[in-house]
């Protein structure tokens, strides 16, 4: 089985972006990304810190705005509209999830489509469906890069996507379809999920449930892409996902928690290729965010 190294592909993408960033800076149009982090969610803070670091390493100007968790929808829209008007900001990212009192859909729609670094604006979703240029959602776009750069053929293959979220599942299915795969989208109400998954030459797990995809879900030789990021904080959670006396219990006790995907990591040995968690898809999300930001700056400089 081949392990698909997301860090290696991330480094390739960032290395290709560096001369593009330098060219923009030499032309007086340094790329700029604004990240809005509402409140103090620890997981979101880690994600934002990694995004800011990637900007710094590439030479992209980054600006972090940290309004309080008590902010209203109108106040947050006003922040976004101010960023929309700034010529030095080419990409805007509002870190999700937002506090419950905020209308997340309204915030995403307030971002100018040309500055939508996440690719979630309805105009950009429409462009993606139509096969038109524009920013693509970062995680699905990263998966497509991972497949292409590892020489994994998509055209003519049977692909199954487990999960139908607007962020991963739906755009993942659309990008695979554009690459000429035959695509099935599964979800929590799919009858006989294991049987559907066993048909897949390319299986993408993005449903957010630790260890859901087991040995009997995977066709021998299939490419298995694990998008899940589930942090198990108690032994009870680990046992619910992987069973009592799981070999993963030792790793959990050593660290006090366990980060795992949607695929059971000990039941994928008959796959042809597999993305580990961590180190698989995760690093590519930030790489594609950088790519979207650089592309937006290039469009502005023309």
Is 47 within 8 Å of 40 (Cβ atoms)? Answer: no
Q: Which of 215, 98, 104, 222 is nearest to 154 (CA)?
A: 222
What are the C-alpha distances in Å from 18 to residues 30, 54, 60?
12, 11, 9
Q: Which of 215, 250, 211 is nearest to 228 (CA)?
A: 211
192 is a catalytic site residue: no
Q: Which of 282, 296, 272, 243 is nearest to 34 (CA)?
A: 296
What are the C-alpha distances in Å from 86 to residues 33, 60, 65, 283?
11, 16, 14, 29
The whole-angstrom separation of Cα 107 and Cα 294 is 22
Q: How many CA atoms lie within 13 A of 266 on its CB side?
A: 8
* Catalytic residue from among 51, 61, 157, 219: 51
Q: Which of 296, 298, 302, 301 is nearest to 84 (CA)?
A: 296
The whole-angstrom separation of Cα 129 and Cα 264 is 32
Is 163 within 8 Å of 205 (Cβ atoms)? Answer: yes
* Catalytic residue from among 61, 115, 116, 118: 118
101 is a catalytic site residue: no
Three-class secondary structure of residue 124 per DSSP: helix
Report, as residue numbers or ranges, the catalytic residues: 51, 95, 118
């Amino acid at each position: 089985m081949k392990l698909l190294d997301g860090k290696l592909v991330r480094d390739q993408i960032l290395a290709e972006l560096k001369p593009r960033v330098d060219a923009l800076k030499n032309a007086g149009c340094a790329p700029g990304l604004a990240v809005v982090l509402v409140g103090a969610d620890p997981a979101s803070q880690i994600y934002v810190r990694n995004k800011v670091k990637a900007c710094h390493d590439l030479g992209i100007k980054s600006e972090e705005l940290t309004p309080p968790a008590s902010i209203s929808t109108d106040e947050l829209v006003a922040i976004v509209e101010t960023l929309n008007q700034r010529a030095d900001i080419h990409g805007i990212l509002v870190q999700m999830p937002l506090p419950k009192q905020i209308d997340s859909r309204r915030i995403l729609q307030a971002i100018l489509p040309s500055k939508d670094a996440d690719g979630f604006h309805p105009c950009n979703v429409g462009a993606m469906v139509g096969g038109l240029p524009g920013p693509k959602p970062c995680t699905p776009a990263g998966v497509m890069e991972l497949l292409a750069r590892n020489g994994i053929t998509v055209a003519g293959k049977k692909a199954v996507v487990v999960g139908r979220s607007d962020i991963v599942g739906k755009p993942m299915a659309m990008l695979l379809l554009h690459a000429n795969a035959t695509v099935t989208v599964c979800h929590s109400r799919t009858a006989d999920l294991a049987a559907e998954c066993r048909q897949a030459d390319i299986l993408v797990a993005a449903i957010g449930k630790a260890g859901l995809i087991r040995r009997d879900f995977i066709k021998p030789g299939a490419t298995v892409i694990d998008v899940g990021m589930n942090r198990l904080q108690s032994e009870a959670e680990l046992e619910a996902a992987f069973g009592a006396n799981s070999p993963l219990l030792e790793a959990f006790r050593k660290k006090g928690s366990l980060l795992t995907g949607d695929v059971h990591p000990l039941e994928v040995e008959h796959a042809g290729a597999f993305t580990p968690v961590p180190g698989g898809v995760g690093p590519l999300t930030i790489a594609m965010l950088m790519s979207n930001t650089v592309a937006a700056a290039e469009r502005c400089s023309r």
